[in-house]
Amino acid sequence: MKLTVLGCSGGIGGAQARTTAFLIDDDVLIDCGTGVGELELDALARLDHVFLSHAHLDHIAALPLLIDSVGDLRSTPITIHASPETLHILRTHVFNWLIWPDFSVLPAPERPYLRLEPLAVGESLALDGRRFTAHPALHTVPAVSYCIDSGSGQLFYSGDTATCAAQVAAINRQPALRHLIVETAFPDAQRDLAAASRHLCPATLGEMLAALEVSPEVHVSHLKPGVGELIMEEIGAAAGRFAPRALRQGQVLEF
C-alpha cells in the first residue's frame, strides 16, 4: 500500500506549493486540496473515494472541480467520507447551487455524480483490505485525523490540529505505525497565532512527540510558504528522539 503526496503545503505560491491532498494507491484521496490538480484526467476518473479531514478551503478546493471533471467519465458516483458536521458544511456552503451545483442529485437523483457518506470519530471503513479509521483532531471547525491500515502497517495523518490528547492516545494505540504525517503551520514566533487558529508550532509539536510511545517516521506537512526552513530548524531543536522531515510533493510512503 502506498501514499503519494500530491500536495502538502500550507499555502500557494510556486510549483511546489500545492495544498493538502494525498493519493492512496490509485483510487482513494485523503483530503482534496489544490494538489489534486497534479493528476491527469484518466487518473482523476479512477478515484472512487475521498476522505476529508475538515472543510477548510485548502483541503477541499479541488473537490467541486474534480466531481465536475469526471462525472461523465464514471459509471458510479465518487463517495465523499467525512464527519457529519463536515458534510453539513459541504451541503450548505459548497454544493448549494450558489457556489457549485449539487452533484448529489445531478445529473439525476437516482444516478448522481457525488455521494456523501458520514464517518464519525471512532468509525472505520474497509476498502479492498485497507482500513480507514477517523480519530480526533482539534481545529477551529469540526475536524478528524485518519489512520490508514494496510494490514501489515499503519500510517497516521493528523489533519489540521492543535495539541489534542485524544489524538495522541489514538496514535499510541497503533501497534505497527510506520509513518506519522503531522502538521506544523507556524514558527514559534507565531505561537499565539497558531494557538488561536488551532495549529501546531514547533514547540507544541515537540510536546506532542514527547508524549508518543510509538516510533514512526515523522513527516511534517502544512508548512506556511516562506517560513518552511525556519519551522523545520525549530522542529529539529524540539523533536527529542525523533528526526522529523518536511513532507515533499511527489513523495511516496509505503506501509
pLDDT at 56: 98
pLDDT at 202: 98
pLDDT bracket for residue 148 (50, 70, 90):
very high
CA distance 30 to 182: 14
40's CB contacts (< 8 A; 6+ apart) are none
Give the Cβ contact number of residue 75 at 10 Å: 5
**And the C-alpha cell for 235?**
522542529
pLDDT at 86: 98
Under 8 Å between Cβ of 182 and 208: yes
Under 8 Å between Cβ of 31 and 51: yes
Under 8 Å between Cβ of 180 and 156: yes
User: Three-state SS for 240?
Assistant: coil
Strand 28-30 vs strand 49-51: parallel, antiparallel, or unpaired? Answer: parallel
pLDDT at 211: 98
CA distance 248 to 231: 15
For residues 83-106, average pLDDT: 98
pLDDT at 222: 98
124's CB contacts (< 8 A; 6+ apart) are 131, 132, 133, 134
Under 8 Å between Cβ of 146 and 124: no
Percent of the chain past pLDDT 70, that is, above it, reads 100
Using one digit for the tens of pLDDT, what is the confidence trace for 123-137? Answer: 999 999 999 999 999
Give the Cβ contact number of residue 222 at 10 Å: 27
Using one digit for the tens of pLDDT, what is the confidence trace for 33-66? Answer: 999 999 999 999 999 999 999 999 999 999 999 9
- CA 142 to chain centroid, in Å, comes to 14
Using one digit for the tens of pLDDT, what is the confidence trace for 190-246? Answer: 999 999 999 999 999 999 999 999 999 999 999 999 999 999 999 999 999 999 999
Q: What's the mean per-residue pLDDT of the chain?
A: 98
Domain spans in the chain, listed from the N-terminal domain onward: 2-254
| Identity of the amino acid at 223 | L
Q: 32-56 b/e with 16+ CB inside 10 Å = b?
A: bbbbbbbbeeeebbebbbbbbbbbb
Q: Which residues pair with 240 in a beta bridge?
A: none
Under 8 Å between Cβ of 18 and 12: yes
pLDDT bracket for residue 139 (50, 70, 90):
very high
215 burial level (CB within 10 Å; 0-12, 13-18, 19+): exposed
CATH 1.10.3720.10 matches 2-254: no
CA distance 70 to 75: 10
Q: Name the CA radius of gyration of the chain, rounded.
A: 17
